[in-house]
Amino acid sequence: MRAAVVTEFGGPEAVTIADVEVPEPGAGQVRIKVAAAALNPVDGGTRAGVFGAAPGGAYTGLGWDAAGTVDAVGAGAGFAAGDAVVALVHGVAKPLGSHAEYVVVDGAAVARAPEAVDAVHAAALPLNALAADQALGLLDPAPGTSLLVTGAAGALGGYAIQLAGDRGVTVTGLARESDEELIRSLGAEFTTDPGRAAYDAVLDAAVLGGEQALRWTRDGGAFAAVIPNTAPPPARGIRTAALDVRADGARLAQLARLVDDGVLTPRVAETYALADAPKAHARLAEGGIRGRLVLVP
């Protein structure tokens, strides 16, 4: 099968399409025939060597998000061949990721796909929706409290706005002036500069850094970073935490239902053939994308 991998770290040109063996599922695992797989900033970091190489491998695989159809199952996997699914293929340094024709995933990381969107849009759900949901779990904002989401026009930020709004939280999105219409359409108030505002909770999806974003958090509030081990020290009674996203098929199934209910909106900016993965990485590196780039094997 074909898979997007890196054998030497570098820029977009480091991504190659390799012929590799089709992986076999073990006990509790499923093999997915990939119909679509989103490209995320973490894939750019993997390509550049930020996280190191896959242990013991000649190449490192790319891709965290997968949407497709179950093709084969191991004992006790909980799914059957033919099921339409989405999955989080967790890991920054792995031999194979979802940017491939087939991927094997633990059944506990898999959920039935939303029915209201196609596979391309479903592929934009797992990583960013789970990250937004788990970051909100760290903040635990109560209904009626205020939340500032930086990087609100991004995929993670957009899901955070919609999930928090569904909880009854008053959300303000920090983004560029050109993104105002988008932010308001997601259900948030909009700002380009919070100034002296102090929110009950701040989710720093833009990775501005704790010193900056803590200024917008009220005394005794809560702050969450979206990169592991980057939480600033607590200050002024503020709870601080950093997200380390984890696979959770049960919660992913609930998020998929929220797509069907119209609460969550997967956004796709562009699609690329798997063979054009280097071009997709080049577009990712340019920045300014509103929605996910998605590879189609």
Question: pLDDT tens for residues 96-153?
Answer: 999 999 999 999 999 999 999 999 999 999 999 999 999 999 999 999 999 999 999 9
Q: 289 near 22, Cβ under 8 Å?
A: no
Instruction: Strands of 20-59 (E only): list them.
Output: 29-39
* CATH code of the domain occupying 2-125+266-296: 3.90.180.10
Listing DSSP states for 111-150 in one string gives EEPPSSS-HHHHTTSHHHHHHHHHHHHHH-PPTT-EEEEE
Structure tokens, 37: 């797989």
Band the pLDDT of 211: cuts 50, 70, 90.
confident
CATH number belonging to domain 128-242: 3.40.50.720
Tokens read off for 177:
């002036």
Helix (H) or strand (E) holding 105: strand 102-106
Whole-structure pTM value: 0.97
Q: Would you mind telling me the total number of residues written for the chain in this entry?
A: 297
Residue 213: the pLDDT is: 86
Domain with CATH 3.90.180.10 in the chain: 2-125+266-296
Rounded to the nearest 10 degrees, how much is the dihedral formed by the CA atoms of 63, 66, 69, 74?
A: 70
**Do 224 and 141 contact (CB within 8 A), yes or no?**
no
Summary mean pLDDT of the chain: 96
What's the rounded Cα separation, in Å, for the pair 111 and 48?
A: 30
Look up residue 26 and give its two tokens: 């073990």
* Confidence (pLDDT) at 33: 98
| CA atoms of 65 and 105, how far apart (whole Å) | 11
Per residue in 238-266, pLDDT tens? 999 999 999 999 999 999 999 999 999 99
Q: Which residues belong to CATH 3.40.50.720 in the chain?
A: 128-242
Torsion angle of the four alpha carbons 166, 167, 172, 176, in this order, in degrees rounded to the nearest 10:
-40
